[in-house]
Amino acid sequence: MASNYYKYFKNFFICCLLFFGGFCSIDSAQANYGWQVKVEAGNSSACGSNGALIRVLALKGTTENIASSNITLNIRRQSDNKIVRSVSGTGTTSYICLDVYNESVETIVDETSSYHDFYTSYYPTSPAQSVGAKWDSHVHLTPISQGMAYFSAFPNNVWVNYDPQFTVQLASMPGVHSATSLSVIMMADSFNGNKKYSTVNVSGGVGKYNLPKLGLSDGWHQWFFKLGFNNQPNPLYSGVAPWVGYGIDRAKPTASVSHSPASPDSTSTVTITANAQDALSGLDTVSIYVDGSVKKTCNFSGAVSAQTCQYAGGPYAANSSHNYYAVATDLAGNKTTTSTKSFNVTAPACACTPWANGACAGGSCTTLQRQQTRTCNPVACDAQSQCVADATCCVCTAWADDDCGLGTCGANQMRQTRTCNPAACDVESQCAASASCPRTLTLSLTANPNTGNAPLATTITGTVGGTAVGTINYTTWWDCDDPCSTVSACQAACGAWDDKADGQAAAVRALNHTYSAAGTFHPKMIVERHNLSASGSVAVTVINGPPSVSALVKQADYCSSGLSTMFSWTYSDPENDPQTFRQIQVDDNSNFSSAVDDTGKVAASSTSYTVLSSKLAYNTTYYWRIKVWDSAGNNSGWVNGPSFTTPLHGYPAIDFSWTPSTPKATELITYTDLTQVFGGSTIVSRSWEIEGANPNTSAAESPAVTYAAKGDYATKLTVTDSNGYTCSLEKNITVKKSIPDWEEG
């Protein structure tokens, strides 16, 4: 690929077009590798109102000719530098459109491994400028072994605070580039309308060379340099470096610094704020120093607006003094140091918060004393804890019902308890008359839904009532119609339970269960609480559900089966009862008032049915529906299938023959199309696929072919009539050897 030297050629052409009107040349120190490329531009209606039509006119050289296959023409979009269109192997008739306001054309010559790549660019400024324009570039290719490199060493995209001396780097200059004399011509500020030039003659070849200062003012500048070998005249140069930018900023940034609060004490956080600005190169950093050490550095990456940097420190010791200042630096290296400021730290006055109640018997306080605390500043400047007498330190919770008949309480009395703190500072238990005593327990059981088709998913819910307290044991059977009312009795009558949950706090338990078969079932639940038990039962009726059909499909092959049409469906039943009967109706009316085919209710387990061609007519829309029955006698009701329209007439009846009937290898064989078409249609296309033959495809009515070798081969004919109906037929043909086969006996 191209070295830096040749990549710089591209930049040179851009610069030439800016400064010299778009027509410029490059010549190396030797002429025996020369070639020439011309580009013609002109507007064209095919390229739009902003378009220019670009083509390469000619290619020629002094000692070599450049093949057009080595030329590429790229259209590059300027907004994002992406190639949007290309033409390769460019010749005199290869054109490509260019939008002159948004695109440039780039010519690339690639001499592969022998020579460096070469790039040039062309930038017309309007369609009118492009009319008749010719871009004529004279370039001498340089062999890979004789390449060179050079670049702008300093200043290069940096800010400085002085009038710089320019430095160029010349490197890797063997062979043809070892010139007897070399000129470095520098140009600066051309884009700012303030051109300055400097020329230095050097003879040392590879190395760095300094160019003189130009006495430029503060601001952003641009520069590039050209190389002239062996006193070549301007504007012919052997190479041009790319434009680079640099800035001069001799002014220091402005800066100030302050602190808050103005009079801090030993509890304060002190915030130091530095404000700075640099209007030209922009701020680089602002650093805040406290007591001679940098505490924070803020980076601003060249911001030119006013900027703020803050540092929060402290608290600092009472009766101490501290100095601070800030240093602002811009991108050119100019520094401004603010004046040094200071702040003094004082001790706060003794200030205490009001007494706050704490815990009874807290700290050194006795049982019926409450501890009080407060906070003083500075710490311990006054008493911060005390004990005060407080009758409320004996704190009891509200009375809570325990249960009937406990302790010394009678069967009709409720024992009540509470907790006091400190313990036993008051009575903590008592007996009280209660309407809740003696205890009761009830159970209400429901099933929702309690009737429906199988499979029936239902929720069985037990709701516990009464005055009994404590946790609840739930025991459930899905079907138990015995009048038993205890767990042990129901186990003996109905077997093991289906669900059991002991020690439950909730007074409602809901269970989901699915009854898969038809019948009447009796879910039963028994609850136990406080030595009491209660039972509940409910009836659930499950009905045998009807079958259903789905995935209705109509299939027809008009080539092989005529109008015969097969209908198919998917049968399902909630109880898995089999399909025992079915009825199918086909009608050309959607209300099925005059069925052309009605099977009636017939015993059948199959899930498909074929209506005969004789019952259907051409160019007619038909509707069809199905009803199925299960072994329990339930039916699905009518379910409609997709309607369908028969073709205008019959599809082509494909047939063909060949002669001779017993062909041999290398013998000429003729196929004959015997296809019939219907309804007044005509054949519009034929397609022969003849395996192993030469030719192996044909669109003729009677193609003639030969087979190179004996064997069995397939021949397929596809015919389409004038109504677009297409059918195919494939036959096998046996080809024998051209001479008899001999075998030893």
In a domain, 650, yes or no: no
Residue 17 sits in the same domain as residue 119: yes
Residue 673 banded pLDDT, cuts 50, 70, 90: very high
Select the more confidently predicted residue: 176 or 402: 402
Please identify, among 313, 330, 345, the residue that sits at the C-terminal boundary of a domain.
345
Residue 552 sits in the same domain as residue 585: yes
Classify residue 241 by its DSSP letter: P
Residue 663 sits in the same domain as residue 705: yes
Residue 15 sits in the same domain as residue 119: yes
In a domain, 744, yes or no: no
Q: Cα 36 from chain centroid?
A: 49
pLDDT at 360 over 90: no
Q: Are strands 472-477 and 307-313 parallel, antiparallel or unpaired?
A: unpaired
What pLDDT was estimated at residue 68?
53
Select the more confidently predicted residue: 698 or 101: 698
What pLDDT was estimated at residue 22?
27
Residue 36 sits in the same domain as residue 106: yes
Please identify, among 645, 667, 700, the residue that sits at the C-terminal boundary of a domain.
645
Residue 56 banded pLDDT, cuts 50, 70, 90: low
Select the more confidently predicted residue: 575 or 195: 575
In a domain, 28, yes or no: yes
Q: Cβ distance 227 to 151 under 8 Å?
A: no
Helix (H) or strand (E) holding 537: strand 532-537
Residue 158 sits in the same domain as residue 136: no
Mean of all residue pLDDT scores within the chain? 80
**Which one, of 671, 657, 667, 659, lies nearest residue 701 by Cα?**
671
Residues 434-466 pLDDT 10s: 888 888 899 999 999 999 888 899 999 999 999
Q: Are strands 621-630 and 644-645 parallel, antiparallel or unpaired?
A: antiparallel
Q: What's the CA gap between 495 and 163, in Å, rounded?
A: 107
Helix (H) or strand (E) holding 127: helix 127-130
Q: What's the CA gap between 500 and 496, in Å, rounded?
A: 10
In a domain, 210, yes or no: yes
Share of the chain above pLDDT 90, in %: 49
Residues 66-108 pLDDT 10s: 555 566 777 777 555 578 887 776 444 566 777 766 776 666 6
Which of 222-231, 505-514, 631-640, 674-683 is predicted least confidently? 222-231
Q: What is the CATH number of the domain that holds 83?
A: 2.60.40
What pLDDT was estimated at residue 515?
93
Residue 609 banded pLDDT, cuts 50, 70, 90: very high
Helices (runs of H) and strands (runs of E) counted in the chain: 3, 62
What pLDDT was estimated at residue 378?
74
Residue 624 sits in the same domain as residue 677: no
Q: What is the CATH number of the domain that holds 164?
A: 2.60.40.2550
Residue 114 sits in the same domain as residue 222: no
What pLDDT was estimated at residue 142?
47
Residue 216 banded pLDDT, cuts 50, 70, 90: confident
Residue 30 sits in the same domain as residue 90: yes
Q: What's the CA gap between 86 and 197, in Å, rounded?
A: 39
* Nearest 10 degrees: Cα torsion 683, 685, 686, 687: -160
In a domain, 455, yes or no: yes
Total domains in the chain come to: 8
Q: Cβ distance 180 to 159 under 8 Å?
A: no
In a domain, 742, yes or no: no
Residue 8 sits in the same domain as residue 115: yes
| pTM of the predicted protein model | 0.37
pLDDT at 396 over 60: yes
Q: Which residue range forms the structural domain that includes residue 188?
A: 149-248
What pLDDT was estimated at residue 411?
81
**Which one, of 252, 272, 251, lies nearest residue 260 by Cα?**
272
In a domain, 745, yes or no: no
Q: What's the CA gap between 123 and 574, in Å, rounded?
A: 79
Residues 640-668 pLDDT 10s: 999 999 999 999 999 999 999 999 999 99
In a domain, 369, yes or no: yes
Residue 8 sits in the same domain as residue 132: yes
Helix (H) or strand (E) holding 360: strand 356-360
Please identify, among 496, 527, 543, the residue that sits at the C-terminal boundary of a domain.
543
Residue 358 sits in the same domain as residue 327: no
